[in-house]
Structure 1
Amino acid sequence: MSRRTSPVIPGFGLTLGYSISYLALIVLIPLGAMLLFSLQLSAEQWWRLLGNRQLQFSLQLSFGTALAAALLNGILGTIIAWVLVRYSFPGRRIIDAMVDMPFALPTAVAGIALTALYAPNGLLGSLLPVKIAYTPLGITLALVFVTLPFVVRTLQPVLADIPREVEEAAACLGARPLQVFRHVLLPSLLPAWLTGFALAFARGVGEYGSVVFIAGNIPLQTEILPLLIVAKLDQYDYPGATAIGVIMLLVSFILLLLINLLQRRIQPPI
């Protein structure tokens, strides 16, 4: 199979060299340095760290809430992307611009605003029968706010490229709306949906600014992994903080690798 050539960008060897060098400087070298720095811990210290109940709970909380937020945004983001692409209505451009607000807004400001709204004495928290702030539900809400654009912006161009004539043809042949979605839309949307889900999940795992305020940071209740890292840094325990970062890195890498393998498996042939 011959390699594709581009008349605009320089040759394959030069562009590949630039790509590898850039990735090495920006990604591989910092991550490698973090792995090497964590090796300052002895095997006994690693075992004690992995067996720490506080770390185990924070690991479960961070990944669990990130997964829940990514799944929720996978549903809500798909609906929002569908409405923005398939319908024209007054205020559509405003709503489309509002999707990007979590990108522009500092995460700490978002966390303070959500806490002020959903605290027990807040504007909405005082009216709701369920406590949101200072609970895992509040953490999930903050992550939903931060990660929504990843799903919407990933799905929008894919939806725009699906011709409506294909759906109309399926409907004319007697397919029901659910069958049209399952056999016509879903095969094209699923790879992009998994990409948006993976981006939202990865962003949610490492989120700190918007979560630290609404979480309340209660040990064994609402304490997230990034907060443990900051606590280790405040105690000048740099190897311990790096070790927690390595654990997050390894778990995230395994989960994202599985998502990418699933995405490649269901990718329709070109």
Structure 2
Amino acid sequence: MGTIAIPQLSRAPSRRRAMPGFGLTLGFTLSYLSLIVLIPLAALAIKAAGLGPAGIWKVLNTSQVINALKLSFGGALVAAAINAVFGSLIAWTFVRYDFPGKRALQAMIDLPFALPTAVAGIALTALYSVPTVPSPGQGWLGVPLEALGIKVAYTQLGVIVAMTFISLPFVVRTLEPVLEQIDKQYEEAAATLGATRWQAVSRIVFPALQPALLTGTALAFARAVGEYGSIIFIAGNLPNLTQIAPLLIAINLDQHEIGAATAIAAAMLALSFAILFGINLLQAWVRRSERKAT
């Protein structure tokens, strides 16, 4: 009798990924984030919790701490809003137009990234301060502004100026790639249908920029709220007036008041998380609205 051949079921070739699998990459991600971010923040929360609710409230419920937190977060929000407007205009100019000196200006935008914050603070102070004795290289803008009744150095306005300076690149560099990907044909089609330039920008370009604009604004806010070096020189560090929360933390550490410094830092962490979480919710709402519209 002849043998009956049993057909072999061919197995589909397994699809091997070029990069490591999900389990390995997820494990590495969680481990790295835990070591760099989660564990230090958890240690901060545990240290602050050791004071107890009454101890934390005693530290935070002072005019000096409240005013410092108001200045840090309020100034950061104002600086982020300013950069959201003018950073968008700068990104639009860099992407849509060619002009002499464009590359030099683009390099200047990145200076706050590379420049030591202390150098930025000294430069801003020299620019906006009004020296009691005339000195070359100082007061170039401070003297004419004070003649107009505007004082920048050693005021809350100076704090906002410093925050705006160091956080501008985040908005510009976040918007530029998105602007480069927007097809100009949609704007040209809108123009042929009779739309004005403002209508084309507001109804075609701006909706596409909203997620990136919110991201850049959030990054600018986060950078400004934690800034220290460039602000302490131009602020003057007057308690209840121009003293920022990071400086107050440093002062408490110098005085070996570890508990007070930890409580202020934990308050900054909670406020920052709440604001950034709200911005992320707004981003998600914008994306859902865009999907429904399409």
Kindly indicate whether residue 197 of structure 2 is the aligned counterpart of residue 177 of structure 1. yes
Kindly indicate whether residue 222 of structure 2 is the aligned counterpart of residue 199 of structure 1. no
Equivalents in 2 of 1:167, 1:104: separation in Å?
Answer: 36
Per-residue CA deviation, residues 175-216 of structure 1 (Å, 9 max, x unaligned), is 122221121011110100000000000110000000000000
Please say if residues 76 and 163 of structure 2, whose CA atoms lie closer than 8 Å, have aligned partners that are also in contact: yes
Equivalents in 1 of 2:253, 2:163: separation in Å?
Answer: 24
| Aligned equivalent of 2:19, options 5, 9, 29 | 9
| Aligned equivalent of 2:46, options 36, 39, 50 | 36
Match of residue 278 from structure 2: 258
Match of residue 137 from structure 1: 157
Structure 1 unaligned residues grouped into runs of 5+: none
SS of the residue corresponding to residue 283 of structure 2 reads: helix
19-28 vs 37-46, greater mean Cα deviation: 37-46
Equivalents in 2 of 1:161, 1:177: separation in Å?
Answer: 19
For 2:42, the aligned partner's letter is G
Per-residue CA deviation, residues 142-186 of structure 1 (Å, 9 max, x unaligned), is 111100000000000000000111110111111122221121011
Question: What TM-score, normalized by structure 2, do the two folds share?
Answer: 0.88
Kindly indicate whether residue 143 of structure 2 is the aligned counterpart of residue 123 of structure 1. no
Shift of 1:6: 8.8
Kindly indicate whether residue 65 of structure 2 is the aligned counterpart of residue 55 of structure 1. yes
Per-residue CA deviation, residues 40-59 of structure 1 (Å, 9 max, x unaligned), is 21332222122111111111
| Aligned equivalent of 1:248, options 268, 273, 288 | 268
Kindly indicate whether residue 87 of structure 2 is the aligned counterpart of residue 70 of structure 1. no
Equivalents in 2 of 1:172, 1:111: separation in Å?
Answer: 50
Shift of 1:7: 3.6
Match of residue 247 from structure 2: 227
SS of the residue corresponding to residue 120 of structure 2 reads: helix
Shift of 1:239: 1.5
Equivalents in 1 of 2:83, 2:72: separation in Å?
Answer: 16
Please say if residues 90 and 172 of structure 2, whose CA atoms lie closer than 8 Å, have aligned partners that are also in contact: yes
Equivalents in 2 of 1:80, 1:131: separation in Å?
Answer: 26
Shift of 1:90: 1.2
Question: What TM-score, normalized by structure 1, do the two folds share?
Answer: 0.96
Match of residue 33 from structure 2: 23
Equivalents in 2 of 1:241, 1:148: separation in Å?
Answer: 29
Please say if residues 60 and 264 of structure 2, whose CA atoms lie closer than 8 Å, have aligned partners that are also in contact: no
Equivalents in 2 of 1:166, 1:42: separation in Å?
Answer: 59
Kindly indicate whether residue 113 of structure 2 is the aligned counterpart of residue 85 of structure 1. no
Please say if residues 48 and 56 of structure 2, whose CA atoms lie closer than 8 Å, have aligned partners that are also in contact: no
Equivalents in 1 of 2:74, 2:260: separation in Å?
Answer: 23
Q: Structure 1 runs of 4+ off > 4 angstroms? A: none
For 2:20, the aligned partner's letter is P
Kindly indicate whether residue 117 of structure 2 is the aligned counterpart of residue 102 of structure 1. no
Structure 2 vs 1, CA of residues 167 and 6 (structure 1 numbering), >3 Å: closer, same or farther?
farther
The number of aligned residues is 266
Per-residue CA deviation, residues 92-133 of structure 1 (Å, 9 max, x unaligned), is 111111110001100000001100110122222112121000
Match of residue 181 from structure 2: 161
Structure 2 unaligned residues grouped into runs of 5+: 1-14, 132-138
For 1:18, the aligned partner's letter is F
Give the greater-gyration-radius structure (CA).
2
